[in-house]
Amino acid sequence: MKALLALEDGRIFEGYAFGALRETTGEVVFNTSMTGYQEILTDPSYRGQIVVMTYPLIGNYGVNSFDVESSLPQVEGFVVREKSPIESNWRSEESLDSYLRRYNIIGLERIDTRALTKYIRERGAMRAVISPFDLNSASLVDKARNAPEMVGQDLVQKVTLAQPEVWHEEGRFTIAVLDCGVKLNILRELAKRNCRVVRYPAFWEAKDVLRDAPQGILLSNGPGDPAALPYVVRFAQEVIGRVPVFGICLGHQIICQALGAKTFKLKFGHHGGNHPVKDLRSGWVAITTQNHGFSVDFDTLPGNEVEITHVNLNDYTLEGIRHRKLPVFSVQFHPEAHPGPHDTTYLFDQFVKMVEDNLA
């Protein structure tokens, strides 16, 4: 079935719908990963966004119930050059097409994804609409312009859990994870390191978490504008200095705001598994998985309190910080990967060591 993708500036792309036949709006971004489309679909950080895959053939190894980062797909729409007509993998349980239909997500194929990606790189990420029903260009552009902007949106409330839960019961240390849209592999990495893992909703009060006496706190990734989350920033301010704190992606932006920094929106964001990041302390360069549309402003960090530890070698944006006195550090990239390289999983070891040293 023919469908159109319309950008808010008036550019139209034609393709064919698959998955659920429905109209959707969202901010359109591109992801440069070659594999891992199921992990991308289920990453809560993509809530509110239409994801374009730059790799041309998607769906060839199907979908299974193991390679998920949350309980269901989170994207608003999924755009590919070619959806594979077959799925061939011993772990496959269903096709990408049927998976998207089951969760009411529209896909769009046979469009020029290279042209769309280059357009976003030149003009920036923008609001868009996909529709298999309304094929009137002027009507679709108007719908895109009336869709919510990403700036100012609190999307964390749409992806966080409703009540605290013990995710992993056994462990040497208890780690509280403030769930702003946490990827499951973050929890798996903690459990692998002999940690008892307890998830808390993003709106939970710091005093209630601290009452449960965790030995460490992790602030997770998540969607939307970090500047629209004053209640999470307040949480961070109240726990920093009380227990060791580790922040990932949105959690990094929250920690930096809690320490006095400001955030800003990137032109088209970082989404993919091939971003080079330099550790300024060792000089070592890691290839990282990233998924964020906002960044922390270097110049607003309190330099006397905070050490910059990592920078992005593509655009030299901030990728990591560490407090000079308190047991607090954070990174903008995803050390748990899934999908992507495992170059930086050692950061979980550093966090657990920080917890252990704090108890000594």
Point out the residues that are catalytic. 249, 334, 336
Distance CA 45, CA 74 (A): 8
Q: Within 10 A of 5 (CB to CB), how many other CB atoms are there?
A: 23
- Look-up of token digits 């798996």: 188
Closest by Cα among 3, 300, 314 to 130: 3
What single letter denotes the amino acid at residue 322? Answer: R
Closest by Cα among 109, 103, 7 to 55: 109
**How many Cα atoms occupy the beta-carbon half-sphere of 11 within 13 Å?**
18
Query: Percent helix, strand, coil in the chain (nearest 5)?
Result: 25, 35, 40
Distance CA 218, CA 205 (A): 15
Name the maximum alpha-carbon separation found in the chain: 66
Are 340 and 288 spatial neighbours (Cβ–Cβ below 8 Å)?
Answer: yes
List Cα–Cα distances, 154 to 180, 246, 296, 340, 359, in angstroms. Answer: 10, 21, 17, 27, 35
Are 46 and 75 spatial neighbours (Cβ–Cβ below 8 Å)?
Answer: yes
**What phi and psi values does residue 26 have, to the nearest 5 degrees?**
170, 170
Q: Report the SS3 class of residue 46.
A: helix
Closest by Cα among 253, 243, 254, 222 to 318: 253
Q: What is the DSSP string of 119-157?
A: HHHHH--EEEEEESS---HHHHHHHHHTSPPSTT---GG
Instruction: Give yes or no for a cis peptide into 339 (omega within 30° of 0).
Output: yes
